[in-house]
Amino acid sequence: MSSSRTDPPTVYLLTLNDLGAPDIAGGYINLPAPTTPYTLRFAIEGARSICREGKLWINVPEGEEVFEREKFHAIPLKPSFGRTLHIDVPITKPGTFCYYISYTPLPPFTTASDVEPPKPTRTEAYYVTVSPSLAINGEPLSLSSLSVCSVLSKFLGPVEKWDGYMKYIADKGYNMVHFTPLMERGASNSPFSLFNQLKFDPIAFPGGEKDVREMVDRMEKEHGILSLTDVVWNHTAHNSEWLQHHPEAGYNRLSAPWLEAPYQFDEALMEFSRQMGKLGYPTELKTKEDLLKVMEGIKIHVIAQVKLWEFFILDVDANVEAIMEKWLSRESEDAVEILETKGFNKDLPLKEKAQLLANHGLKGADRLGDRFRKFIDPTVGAAYLHLEFGTPPSGNDPGSVIIPRGGLKSILDEINLPFYKEYDADIAEALEQLYNRIDYTRIAEHGPKSGPITEESPLIETAFTRLPLNEVTKKHDPKSLALANNGWLWNNTSDFASEKHKSYLRREVITWGDCVKLRYGDGPEDSPFLWDFMGKYTKLMAQVFHGFRIDNCHSTPLNVGEYMLDIARRERKDLYTVAELFTGDERKDKIFLERLGLNSLIREAMVAWGPAELSRLVHRHGGKPIGSLEQELVTRGKTTGDDREIIKAISGAPIHALFMDCTHDNEVPTQKRTPQDTLPNGALSAMCDCAIGSVIGYDEVYPHLIDLVTETRNYEVPPTALDDSTAGIANVKAIMNRIHSQMGKDGYTEMHVHHEDEYITMHRVHPQSHRGYFLIAHCAFGPGTERGNFNPVTLPRTKVKCMGSWKLEVDGSPETIKKVREDPTTLRGLPANLVKLEPPRIEENGDDTVVTILDIFPPGSIALFETWVEGFEGTEVDSYSVSGAEDAFSAVSLADLNFILYRCDAEERDTSGGKDGVYNIPGYGALVYAGLQGWWSVLKDVIKNNDLGHPLCQHLRDGRWALDWNVGRLDRLIEQGHKGLEGPAKWLRERFEKIKDVPFSLLPRYFALILQTAYTAAIERGISLFGNKVISGTPFLKGLAMVSVQMTGYTKSGSLWPTKEVPSMAAGLPHFSVEWARCWGRDVFISLRGLYLAIGRYDDAKEHILAFASVMKHGMIPNLLGAGRTPRYNARDSIWFFLQAIQDYTKMVPNGHEILQEKTRRRFLPYDETWFGVDDPRAYSKESTIEEVIQEAMQKHALGFKYKEANAGPNLDSQMKDEGFWVEVQPDWETGFVKGGNQWNCGTWMDKMGESEKAKSKGFPGTPRDGAAIEITGLLYSTVKWLAALSSEGKYKWTSVKKSDGVDITFGSWANLIKQNFERCYYIPENPEDDAKHVIKADTVNRRGIYKDLFGSAKIYEDYQLRPNYAIAMTVAPDIFDPEHALGCLAICDKVLRGPLGIATLDPADLNYRPNYINSLDNDDFATAKGRNYHQGPEWLWPLGYFLRAMLIFDSKRRKTHEERLEMFQQLSARMEGCRHEIKKTPWAGLTELTNKDGTFCADSSPTQAWSSGCLVDLFYDAQAMEV
């Protein structure tokens, strides 16, 4: 049915990776026929490096242009950091199309000015094939509806007799006839040895082309059959007259001089064959002893006489003379220098000297050619003599050159040594091939036993055709008159007659004496006549026939196939092309498919050696398994308006087969199995979801393979109509072929194949309606008459009707076979009849049907059934399963989506009072989330791989627990008051209810369909609430943004308030999800900008700010919130990230400064150090504005403070020593910095405390970071500068704070003080001469050109450590950095610290570097036991965001032009590639906390961490705001 005008256009979406390759798994890209034009849309994340000066080149013709393979249109790629580029290409024609991307690679990120810019390059070529649209008399015919019958046309007789055959073929249900070549044949009479490619066989077609065209036209109009012919491009008949005029069209000793040695070898073999009797060798070989005698004769009279080694080696004597002459002439000074620079010296071993001389002086070694083609350049040889023996003697004394001459001869002999070895190996192979071939043709029982050796039947086939000497050929060079014959070479897809091969010399080619191999060269200019002549032939074939079978395709040069098919498709755009490849490698098959645009590859059932192998072949080509999940992923485009569209994501396509029950060049069942197997083999093949085929004579049970060359009889005249008297399996074949064509047309794409002993069953069904056909086939690979062992078949929830049951009775006795084969006039089949059997017993067992084969069902029997599922209309269920999801999810909030999509086990148990956790799939394990993401993380790969054997699929087939659980979970949450879940719960309930009665085998499919629809709707709803920058952003940005939903939800134990349950942000899942571990002040406010502010979650941001402001104490916010009940104040940096987040809120939220006047009730009394419980009446008795909270924090830090944590001791922290509970912060008014901490606690984010008693590290922090941590200094500066600006604008009531000496200091002065001292105190100059300008202890410096991590630590060396914290300061306070110094530091860290996903926490050059974190490992290693090295080298992801933001800030200062800015964005994008991959592959759908060295997996890392994703969202926000 054609699309109506109201149908939205279809878009096929192809996502490309950073290499420009299709981001699909397996297969190749095969798009449907463009009966209605559609769009191919390429999608590339806009800042990928291939977009740099990038262009997508594609050879899809524009408009009405004719396809030209080498004509590419360039489509510029316009990079965008936060968006996906879409390149739309209209598809209106079938064929194979190529694309590639040209671009200029990114240069290294560096501050150096002398870096050579990268040179433009391009990706490799990739292909998209588009299927042709076939039709019979205007009625569309899908490729999987094709039923092809091969006809050996020379056995049909004259064309006037063909109509009866065509009618008979049509009556049997075939809809395409494959003709072997119909052109004039050569001397051998083989249809594949063509005498004249431009002339049809005059015997069959006296009217020539006209007869053929009329015949083909009549086939379609009267019989409903299309035509397909072989095209033969690789060879021509050895007696083709045009070869005498154009011997250059073949491989001869002029056009292919490397064939000189094979030709002389062949001549000698032919002469030996003629002289064998005279030489005393047996001329009729009957035993292996005879053959061994002949082989000895070949060695003596051929190998030894021809002296083939001379083609391999260099002539030592001739080379000695030439080199000596050059040496004595003293003209080799330049070559002397070359050899010296390459390492020549007199002390080298002879072998190494020979290698040097050969490497730089050997000529003619590129291929075989004339004898002694190899030689040493005399100049280079003379240079060797000069270096080895000095300057030549000045006199004429012959004795003075004896030693140099001898030395030269020795080294030339050494050079020859590998060439002799090469010769020995090649001749050994040639002798092996000769032995095997002669054995097969003369002696072997399975061979032809060719009889006596004569002139007409030589010992071995000649490898060359010798053109006759006549008036035409005598004009040519005699060397051009011997042409290489074509032949067979197993597992070869290259030109075996080219200079790269020695196949003819090694006698590896099984040559066909009636065919000359054609030499095309690289293009038409290499053989103009041949290209033109064969182009005309191809054009004629395309004008006449609907399709091509490319003969000898695997040996036909690809460039030739491309050229000819381009000609053919210009004549017939919907040309069907098929080939039989013998590569033995699907990767090689894919090359032919893509380059040539082949629509099918021929596969054959007769290659199976038993029922098990046949069942494998049938399964491979039969379709997708029943209930397949491998559905086309449909992405909804715009659904309203003129620009609405349906977007279908492209996935890899399997190779489409033309599956033949038997081909025209393979033995029939009577020869390889039994005659009775004709029926089951043919029926099974016809059940497959692909094109199918057979050969004339198969259905008629011909007893033997017809010899294309020697056979002279014609086919038996066919019956005028099919009836019960029709011999063979024609009547059943007619049923099977028509069923096959209908199934292909209607889309019966799913199947199930079962093998049991000698039986194979196959059930093929429609994926929606679930109507189908079921076949039971009793194979007859060997003789037999018994039913055999075959259990009853149960078809669950399926009704069955028998269409027929038959056995094939054949007289296959040796006498009958002999009689039929020796019929003098006619090719005919064995006496064979179909016998109808009593139908199998069909019994209903509830909803199931049981089919039992009766006692009479011998080998060679089949039973065919029609099946359906009563009361089930799959098409309607499919439609219902994917409908209405957008509306159902349209009102849910982001908090609702946290329940719908996520919730790790701990969160789920927290909410349910410990009753419910995540779902556990038997045989697989627990999901990571209870919500849809947990299921989708498993299902996406199950769908992608169509893995119906996955434990989840089996679990769904076993019962409906998963369906009930998903709905029940949402119902229980609704009962708790989460009413926003009602819409999704109702939608899921209704869909799951709809599929509860489908057959168990289909439950995985429908569950996946519903789950995927719900998941997609939920994700799309979430994205829609984030604002336009995310909505229009890349999939990566959307994935990062959804982590906001993942991390923010309700928990009873981890709310922001002690008495009010509100959504709170988890630091990470599952490690930091509930109770005290959920809300970390530092983590929340590092993450808040990206996960809340940048994506528009302003209310959530405000709630977290107010909640943490309410628990301000000591001028600090808690590191651990404890829902306000038990906050812990041990983090010196949390307050500064908190204040930075408030600053970001005021700048990013509309009217954001109003938050400063928001009030919050205080957990503790303002400016009071007293600790009391949450139930104390003083708790929450006072309130402050955010402005007042900020001022309190600033004042406390201006005065300094020291306190011991409340409730200090082992109950608070069992690892910490008593000294560690003391928290101290003091301002340094000489620098403006705030210092704090001690060597016994770790008050910044690098907060790992030693825990191992075995290693004696308990109580020893891994990274105390006391002093002025660089990130705190940067955050402090950012805050005081901001407050100074707010104050000047009248938006903040204070202008200063009071120092401990009672003197006020304004915020502006404080900022200036920090700025004046920052570079002096923190920068480590690149040049030691600049140390005097900075605070430097030179003997402690480990690396220069960087910023210190600390200033004023108790352990001075810790100041000088390179860690990633400087980037935080660069990002929030860029103006305190010298831009040149900052860029230099960033460039160093890009090389030294940056890993595939994150940033190393310590310089690898540091003695304390320990990059692999294993928290569970307890040993005696003080540095690493129990994970003390948490921040001593492992690569954390969240600092990457700050690092890239710092890159953006400082790199942008030097990049002014549009192109420079684009490069900057691409540098940033390239550094997120590992994170892009990570968020796609991890089941947690987030970014991990950290990795071990070089991005390797860390088992103790929290698999998804809020700040890891949030800090990268920050980068996108900043980049989108920056002018390009």
Q: Which of 1285, 1265, 1450, 1428 has its CA nearest to residue 1367?
A: 1450
Residue 944 structure tokens: 């992608």
Rounded to 10 degrees, the C-alpha dihedral 1159/1160/1166/1172 comes to 160
Residue 1271 structure tokens: 């990130």
Residue 918 structure tokens: 């995540």
Please check whether residue 429 is in contact with residue 506, taking contact to mean a CB–CB distance below 8 angstroms.
Answer: yes
Q: Which residues, at least 6 apart from 804, have a Cβ–Cβ distance to it below 8 Å?
A: 732, 735, 836, 839, 863, 864
Tell me how far apart the alpha carbons of residues 657 and 1112 are, in angstroms, rounded to a whole number: 72
Concerning whether 551 is annotated as a catalytic residue, the answer is yes
Instruction: Write the Ramachandran bin of 1115: left for phi over 0, alpha for psi from -120 to 50, otherwise beta.
Output: left
CA distances from 698 to 477, 670, 739, 740 (A): 49, 10, 19, 18
To which H or E segment does residue 1149 belong?
none
E-strand spans in 1067-1163?
1068-1069, 1159-1162
Concerning whether 1359 is annotated as a catalytic residue, the answer is no
Residue 1374 structure tokens: 């860029």
Q: What secondary structure does DSSP assign to 1065-1076, as a single string? A: E-SEETTB-SGG
To which H or E segment does residue 892 belong?
none
Residue 1333 structure tokens: 């300008």
Partnered with residue 754 across adjacent β-strands are: 761
Concerning whether 266 is annotated as a catalytic residue, the answer is no
Q: Which of 471, 493, 489, 473 has its CA nearest to residue 481?
A: 473
Residue type, 1437: L
Residue 25 structure tokens: 């798994």
Residue type, 875: T
Classify residue 1408 as exposed, middle or buried by CB count within 10 Å of its CB (0-12, 13-18, 19+): middle
Rg of the chain over Cα atoms, rounded to whole angstroms, equals: 41
Could you say which of 23, 665, 848, 1500 is catalytic? 665
Please check whether residue 362 is in contact with residue 412, taking contact to mean a CB–CB distance below 8 angstroms.
Answer: no
Residue 283 structure tokens: 């001329």
Phi–psi pair at 835, nearest 5 degrees = -115, 125
Residue 849 structure tokens: 């049907």
Residue 462 structure tokens: 């000649």
Tell me how far apart the alpha carbons of residues 624 and 605 are, in angstroms, rounded to a whole number: 18
Phi–psi pair at 667, nearest 5 degrees = -70, 150
Q: What secondary structure does DSSP assign to 808-848, as a single string? A: EEE---HHHHHHHHT-SSEE---SEEEEE-PPPEEEEETTE
Which residue pairs from 908-916 have beta carbons closer than 8 angstroms and sit at least 24 positions apart in sequence? 910/1051, 910/1052, 910/1053, 910/1054, 910/1073, 910/1074, 910/1075, 911/973, 911/976, 911/1050, 911/1051, 911/1052, 912/972, 913/1052, 916/969, 916/972
Residue type, 112: A
- Whether residue 448 is preceded by a cis peptide bond, meaning omega within 30 degrees of 0, is no
Please check whether residue 467 is in contact with residue 244, taking contact to mean a CB–CB distance below 8 angstroms.
Answer: yes
Tell me how far apart the alpha carbons of residues 695 and 661 are, in angstroms, rounded to a whole number: 8
Maximal CA-CA distance, the chain: 127
Question: What letter does residue 1427 receive in the DSSP assignment?
Answer: G
Could you say which of 238, 476, 554, 950 is catalytic? 554
Could you say which of 551, 689, 1403, 1514 is catalytic? 551
Residue type, 98: C
**Residues marked as catalytic:** 551, 554, 665
